[in-house]
Structure 1
């Protein structure tokens, strides 16, 4: 997958998360988790943009790791939202969980590849 396709998927994911969050129950839990999921769900797109301008391979891996952490947080948050029945929009909630899971897999693989190519340049 090329950089632009991944960036587009992250932007689409962020937009999906925003749309999902706008349909939450209007109560303390709904408001709290709406804010939380919007922060964690939009962060990967923004941090991926930063990763593209990383100052070194180590910096790139670090920023990609932040994306991964935020995606994992989003995935867990989506599961909590589902269990707590905070939204009736189950179609988009399911889409968001599926995309989060796929993006997590992509980032795990990308970070492993980057670390492996970084390690081949080191001497023991």
Structure 2
């Protein structure tokens, strides 16, 4: 997996998170947890984009690690929202699967980058 694939998938995922946030606010009237989900879910792609312009391989790796941590946080918020019945099982599983796919791509990038340092 390469950075461009990670970036394009993160944009698609961020758009899904934005739609989930709008749904949670408008339909479920949930504002606190959904804001956390919005922040972490959209931050993944922002950190990937920033990594592409890292000043060094180490800086690049650091930004990818941050994106990976944002994935983990997003997975947490998705689990919490689902367990509180704010997300249906289908919504939860679909968003979770997309985030998990991003996590795997980012893990692969970190391993490859670490091996070349």
* TM-score, normalised via structure 1 length: 0.86
2:64 is aligned with 1:64: yes
Structure 1 unpaired stretches of 5+: 119-124
Alpha-carbon distance, 1:5 to partner: 2.4
The total of aligned residue pairs comes to 114
Q: Higher RCO, 1 or 2 (CA under 8 Å, sep at least 6)?
A: 2
**Counterpart for residue 91 of structure 1:** 90
CA distance in 2, matches of 1:6, 1:114: 14
2:77 is aligned with 1:74: no
**Counterpart for residue 21 of structure 1:** 21
**Counterpart for residue 100 of structure 1:** 99
Alpha-carbon distance, 1:18 to partner: 0.9
CA distance in 2, matches of 1:54, 1:100: 23
Alpha-carbon distance, 1:85 to partner: 0.5
CA-to-aligned-CA distance 1:34-86 (integer Å, 9 cap, x gap): 10000000001111110000000110010000000001100111011100001
Contact 2:37–2:77 (CA under 8 A) maintained in structure 1: yes
Structure 2 unpaired stretches of 5+: none
CA distance in 2, matches of 1:58, 1:2: 17
Report the aligned-residue RMSD: 1.2
Q: Secondary structure at the match of 1:59?
A: helix
